[in-house]
Structure 1
Amino acid sequence: MADNNSVSGGESLHWQMTDRVTIVQLVVLIFLCINFLLTVTFFSKVYFYTTMRYILFAVTLLSDSLILIMSNILLILSYLHFTIQIGLCVIIYILLVLCTFITPVTLTAMTLERYVAICMPLRHGELCSTRITINCIVIIHSLSSLPCVIILSIFFASAPQSLYTQHTICSMGMFVFLQWQNNVKLAVYQFYFLILTITIIFSYGEIMKVAKAASGEDKKSTWKGLRTVVLHGFQLLLCLIQLWCPFIENAVLQINLKLFIDVRYFNYIMFNLAPRCLSPLIYGLRDDKFFDALKCNTSFGFHCVKNNVQISIV
């Protein structure tokens, strides 16, 4: 009887995992299609790829798309119990960690762009030019690569040479051997969390002051910018909570395997997939110019004439 219950429980868990993996495939496919449409729209007009906020938006789209693809591949490999060489896993880890930090750092840069546009409108053209944007992207990628360099340096210093040729199921937790390594990793994540959160709060407070003092059309535009900052803040919060997920999952794993699987699935949906669907909402739907261009691309040209007139007036 005990064996039958064990087999039944194992089969139930297997079918539950199959359903979850299938749902993730559908969600990832939908988001990748949306991101593809938004990327095509971005390159459809010169105004978009010469304006700072849209360029940074495109950076988040590419970063989010890469995270969706890479994390989904790891999910499928883990589900199939497929092992790969640890050297290849290191490469995947580098890409994932880099993109994981690119999104929140870029969101913070986008918030600062809104701060400059609303609080320093006379200097917006100077501080948010195309040249400054390129420099900003270089800084974003440099800052995003630092955690990866620190974590991998610790890993390379402590891992034996024979480890790189071994085959295993690729997991982000495999790069931490000792507790002090885990502490260093957590300290780096918390430092980024603190700095980015302070930047968001500062921008929100300054824009709030301008919003209260503004009037008429300026007030309407300012409050719209304030709502954008709030959405950035919420999206940033979800992205930063994702940085804490490995530590929560490791603690849960010590308690119960089934609970660990449930928590890991919830974290993946809530803090990995969900933040990636907010970018299309913030700039794909709420931004009038971008939404007009998006309708033009998705309506086979039926709305292009009208929207082009609207865009030229603005």
Structure 2
Amino acid sequence: MAANDSSAHINNDRVILVQVFISFFFCINFLLITVFFMKDFFYTTMRYIFFALTLMSDCVILILSDVLLLLAYFHFTIQMSFCLIVYVALSLYTFVTPVTLTVMTLERFVAICMPLRHGELCSTRSALHCILIIHGVSALPCVVFLSIFFASANHSYYTQSVICSAENFILHTLQGYLRSAISQLYFLTMCIVIMFSYFKIMKVARAASGQNRKSTWKGLRTVVLHGFQLFLCLFQLWCPFIEAAVLQINLMLYINVRYFNYIMFILSPRCLSPLIYGLRDEKFSVALRRFVLCGLYKKH
């Protein structure tokens, strides 16, 4: 009995900690999105448009993952059809952030290695086209995965009440293998793009001098941070396999590993975007400070 009470207490603390964590970064993201729409320079510049896209994508992930956590914690069931909607949104935006980070890395590559063509290739119009492409590429794994589900599930399956999770949509082993294969392909492609951009920018950085050298090295550090954030985002694609293996060993260990994976590979990378662009970027940080200070001034 005491062991069960202790386990419940630990779970309570973890859920409360997640609520604080998510609330804090959701407020920061919302503040940054507000600042983004306040100056036309930001929403007419490609890298800031992509930055806003990652913030919005991260907000969706933070909210929906937290909703699923709370539903599971309170053992609250919902209809399979509603769970399907939540899963589609989660699946889409799980890929939107890493794909956008890859595109942002390419934008830095063009800005540093092809400065004369940057204005032509990285216009606002191009950014809007890229957003459509990003969502199309991000939706592909979900479309393939759910196509098998739709072909197999009967009508009564959609009316069942379940605790919502991705596992509810795996009706065949093939789906798991297919999802894994597509995820690995995405991971490999994005890694190649990141490494290609890194080495090209490194080459330019070594040859640059003066102010150009400083700007180039700053761009290189941004690429490295994108690479680290991308690694955390994509590592979550391996988490189900790790958790399935741990479940065979010990249930309590499985719960601990799953909680660690949730914090480390789902929530953490979604909270790095404000640090990489919101605080490191000089123009954005200045606009943010002005907005916050003006808010405090008006309040007084």
Q: TM-score, normalised by structure 1?
A: 0.93
Deviation at 1:178, TM superposition (A): 2.7
Q: Deviations over 1:17-43 (max 9, x none)?
A: 110000000000000000011001101
Deviation at 1:93, TM superposition (A): 0.2
* Residue in 2 that maps onto 1:24: 18
* Residue in 2 that maps onto 1:163: 157
Deviation at 1:254, TM superposition (A): 2.4
* Residue in 2 that maps onto 1:211: 205
Of 238, 258, 274, the residue aligned with 2:232 is: 238
Paired AA for residue 273 in structure 1: L
* Residue in 1 that maps onto 2:259: 265
Deviation at 1:276, TM superposition (A): 1.3
* Residue in 2 that maps onto 1:294: 288
Q: Deviations over 1:270-290 (max 9, x none)?
A: 001110121001110100000
Paired AA for residue 146 in structure 1: L
Change (3 A) 1:53 1:158: same
Map 1:175-186 to 2 at 5 A.
175-186=169-180
Tell whether 2:89 aligns with 1:95: yes
Q: Deviations over 1:107-146 (max 9, x none)?
A: 0000000000000000000000011111000000000000
Partner SS for 2:237: helix
Map 1:28-107 to 2 at 5 A.
28-107=22-101
Deviation at 1:302, TM superposition (A): 8.3
Instruction: Return 5+ residue gaps in structure 2 as ranges.
Output: none
In structure 2, how many angstroms separate the alpha carbons of the residues matched to 1:244 and 1:156?
A: 24
Aligned identity (percent) is: 63
Of 4, 8, 29, the residue aligned with 2:2 is: 8
In structure 2, how many angstroms separate the alpha carbons of the residues matched to 1:8 and 1:158?
A: 45
Deviation at 1:159, TM superposition (A): 2.1
Instruction: Return 5+ residue gaps in structure 1 as ranges.
Output: 1-6, 304-314
Q: TM-score, normalised by structure 2?
A: 0.97
Paired AA for residue 184 in structure 1: L
Deviation at 1:255, TM superposition (A): 2.2
* Residue in 2 that maps onto 1:310: none
Paired AA for residue 93 in structure 2: C
Of 186, 189, 210, the residue aligned with 1:192 is: 186
In structure 1, how many angstroms separate the alpha carbons of the residues matched to 2:268 and 2:83?
A: 25
* Residue in 2 that maps onto 1:249: 243
* Residue in 2 that maps onto 1:123: 117
Partner SS for 2:76: coil
Q: Deviations over 1:188-243 (max 9, x none)?
A: 11010011110000000100000011011110000000000000000000000011
Paired AA for residue 59 in structure 1: L
In structure 2, how many angstroms separate the alpha carbons of the residues matched to 1:249 and 1:48?
A: 41
Partner SS for 1:299: helix
Aligned pairs, number: 297
Task: Assess if the C-alpha contact under 8 Å between 1:296 and 1:302 holds in 2.
Answer: no
Measured on the aligned residues, the alpha-carbon RMSD in Å equals 1.2
Moved over 3 A (4+): none
